[in-house]
Chain A
Amino acid sequence: MTLLSVEGLGIGFGGIKAVHDVSFKVAPGEIVSVIGPNGAGKTTLFNMISGVYQPGSGRVVLEGEDVTGMASFRLAQRGMSRTFQNLQIFQNMTVLENAISGFHLQERGPVLADLLHLPSSRRRARAAEAGARELLARVGLERAADREAGNLSYGSLKRLEIARALAMRPKVLLLDEPAAGCNAVETEEIDHLIAEVAASGTAILLVEHDMKMVMRISSHIVVLDHGEKIAEGAPAEVSRNPAVIAAYLGTEEGADADG
């Protein structure tokens, strides 16, 4: 059964093809990793799937519905959530409020009730807060709940972003380098968390540079190079694939900022 299917997706910036004709499928409970050298187009691919960029060609299909280029808030309503390579945290809020924001779809209601502090508004807010505290505990941030989000360490912010994305109980979760900047212990924690979320039936699409982590937890790997898919398959298959090895060795030195 396919939950998310990416069909021939492509985009160009100023005449340069950043991503070209990439296709793959993700099933519920599966962890699909997208790997590739820096600049291979992984984040660009994510931005197209999650509605941040309008794809130039191809389709994104979520549960049988064509959601290509749909605004990200509509995708969220359909069960797609994501995190960002270079953090998109609400710096003007506390850690707890960031987590509560993840419950937006559940806690939102008539704004008039919010303005007048009606019981219905308070009830919604309380439920979201309880859920948020639980999630913070799950990612080990319960003690930082009342701190301003801007003051957290990079690793903690990464986990906060995951907690916020999990709040909406997504059907598909896109994680863009969740372990970047984290130490070994934190990486392992995130590793467990991802496996746990997948076990509960959420489909996970992962971009990650930590190859050990990718090989350990992925059920399926898609390899990109210069914006094109050069291989896909189970971790063991992919790691033996000559094209993949060449791609990695060939660009080791010339690696620049990821696109």
Chain B
Amino acid sequence: MSSKSKPLFSSSIGKKLIMSLTGLFLCTFLVIHLIGNLQLFKNDEGYAFNNYAHFMSQFAPIKVVSYLLYASIVIHAVYSLVLTIKNKAARPVGYNQKAGNENSKWNSRNMGILGTIILVFLATHMQHFWFQYKFGTTPYIEYNTEIVTGNRQTISSDVLPSNYDGYKIFVNDGVETIQTKDLYKQVAYTFQNPLIVLLYLVAMAALAFHLIHGFQSAFQTIGFNHKRYIGFIRSVGIWVFGVIIPIAFAAMPLYFFFKG
């Protein structure tokens, strides 16, 4: 045995380690993203959600994490392509008869297709909200809240006023005034389009099946497979990442679509 082995990331297991770690990082992001977005269900004309959106777009540590996140998405997609090309080359002549369902689950064999659906979704999702919020146009809202009573008046418009120059918060005569881009209404308007709602539902279904396999597969790849906790990992993968999270996300477009 030679002592000089190939570098870690040029090996099959090293590349899969990258898939595993980026995938698990993206899973943790989903949890945070969901918890934040649950504020969409608050019936407060987007007060909580819009303030949260502003906080997330300005807070420096979140910015750092967001770049890590974009990098993870790109690396996860690029490495999946590299690995898939190698996998295809490993079987140049295919089988005439296939009986994949006899020995494995459909989603475990089609992670690339499911991942591609998620990637296409991500691009449109970023365009709908992130791009419009940062560089495009959104509706505008001003919240005037009496600090003592909590009574709130709003002034809103479907376009940003020409003199709008960023998020502002100030207190005057016991009234808290917040002027902000109304991402909440942007969400509500976007989800009036049934095609967009359908895209989101398909994407969440793809995400569910991707993660039912992917979450436990990521642990297998880094060597975590132990009687004591493998059942817990599989349950979290199926119930948290395969059921609860995708359904909660899917509820958002449906909520706004039927709310009108």
Q: Do A and B bind each other?
A: no
Residues of B within 8 A of A (CB): none
Q: Which residues of A contact B (CB under 8 A)?
A: none
